[in-house]
Amino acid sequence: MKKTGIMNIINAVVLTGFTAYVLLDAFVIPRSYEKVDKSEYAIEAEETLDESTAEYTEDGYTDSTTSIEFTTYRENDTTIYVADVRLSKVDSIKTAFANDTYGKNITAKTSVTAANNNALLAINGDYYSARNGYVIRNGVLYRSKSAGDEQEDLVIYLDGSCEIIKEGDITAEELIEKGALHVFCFGPGLVSNGEVTVDGNDEVGRAMASNPRTAIGWIDDLHYVLVVSDGRTGESEGLSLEELAKFMKGLGCTVAYNLDGGGSSTMYYNGEVINNPTTNGRKISERSVSDIVYIG
């Protein structure tokens, strides 16, 4: 009995240690897989803002290639920040990894990654490193392993159009052949062909009903909206997926997609975070994330 008891203790210690390692490996230990090589981008990596014609206004920004108009909404006891973006070319909508590195648990605050890439406007991305699914950024395929047949991804194509696909219907390699510029693997899709595609049941197994949210929407030719809502505070409750989808449709989105939310939800503009990111509502602070979507 004494020997059996000792073995039980040893087994328990080993199991606890293994479990701790698995959790650390999944969420803490950084692993660098590939440094970004901008020479591989489908579109040449360059600054696309025209500083010679730049005009900063109280409500946004304009130059000869880019227009950004900000509006703050108050709906469902929630503050929602909307950047209405019109571009003259698709290469103005970009993505960046934290520390310019594709990997696991490689993270930085949205504001830091935005500043490092000379972004004018940025939101957090899909936090690809904490989940499975296709990863295509700037026309480069980083991950082709599927998260499952029903996983919904957002595709931004080289012509500027957007589409929501299911990974079971098309491979990542086929998306590259079709001209995919960026593919995000969070979800779900919110609006497709101008119609809301989620309801209250889509919250099950995902998160609390009301949360800070981040979304991207496509209205028409090179016309997008970047949207972030506050949440989890006394001043701002947060949105359900259905509420977010209806809001995006109300903005005129033909396609809209849910990105990483909760404590990750951050909007950055011209050197400052303009929303109130929080994980638990007790402290307003940015969460470090794996990637951003930006204009710059």
Q: Per-residue pLDDT tens for 93-104?
A: 999 999 999 999
Whole-structure pTM value:
0.91
Q: Per-residue pLDDT tens for 267-279?
A: 999 999 999 999 9
Question: Would you say residue 120 lies in a domain?
Answer: yes
Please give the structure tokens belonging to residue 232: 């989890």
Residue 256 pLDDT > 80: yes
Would you place residue 5 in the very low, low, confident or very high pLDDT band (cuts 50, 70, 90)? low
Question: Would you say residue 21 lies in a domain?
Answer: no
Residue 21 pLDDT > 70: no
DSSP state of 254: S
pLDDT of residue 202: 74
| CA proximity to 243, closest of 194, 203, 273, 276 | 203
pLDDT of residue 135: 98
Burial of 221 (0-12, 13-18, 19+ CB in 10 A): exposed
* Residue 64 lies in domain: 36-295
Question: Would you say residue 203 lies in a domain?
Answer: yes
Q: Would you say 209 and 203 are in contact if contact means Cβ atoms under 8 Å apart?
A: yes
pLDDT of residue 2: 60
Distance of CA 142 to the CA centre of its chain: 16
pLDDT of residue 203: 64
Number of C-beta neighbours around residue 227 at 10 A: 29
Mean pLDDT over residues 178-198, rounded? 97
State phi, psi for 202 to the nearest 5 degrees: -75, -10
pLDDT of residue 204: 45
pLDDT of residue 18: 46
- Helix, strand or coil for residue 225? strand
pLDDT of residue 207: 53
Q: Per-residue pLDDT tens for 52-67?
A: 999 998 899 999 999 9
| d(C-alpha 192, C-alpha 245), whole Å | 10
Mean pLDDT over residues 4-13, rounded? 60
Q: Per-residue pLDDT tens for 103-128?
A: 999 999 999 999 999 999 999 999 99
Question: Would you say residue 27 lies in a domain?
Answer: no
Q: What's the whole-number average pLDDT of the chain? A: 92
pLDDT of residue 199: 86
Number of C-beta neighbours around residue 206 at 10 A: 13
Q: Per-residue pLDDT tens for 25-48?
A: 555 788 999 999 999 999 998 889
Mean pLDDT over residues 252-274, rounded? 97
Residue 15 pLDDT > 80: no
Question: Would you say residue 23 lies in a domain?
Answer: no
Q: Cα dist. 291→73, 219, 247 in Å?
A: 26, 23, 24
Question: Would you say residue 116 lies in a domain?
Answer: yes
Question: Would you say residue 28 lies in a domain?
Answer: no
Q: What percent of the chain has pLDDT over 90?
A: 83
Residue that has been written with the tokens 């019109």 in this structure: 86
Domain count, the chain: 1
User: Which is more confidently placed, 113 or 1?
Assistant: 113
Q: Per-residue pLDDT tens for 190-243?
A: 999 999 999 877 764 455 579 999 999 999 999 999 999 999 999 999 999 999
Mean pLDDT over residues 264-291, rounded? 96
Residue 92 pLDDT > 80: yes
Question: Would you say residue 131 lies in a domain?
Answer: yes
Mean pLDDT over residues 4-18, rounded? 58
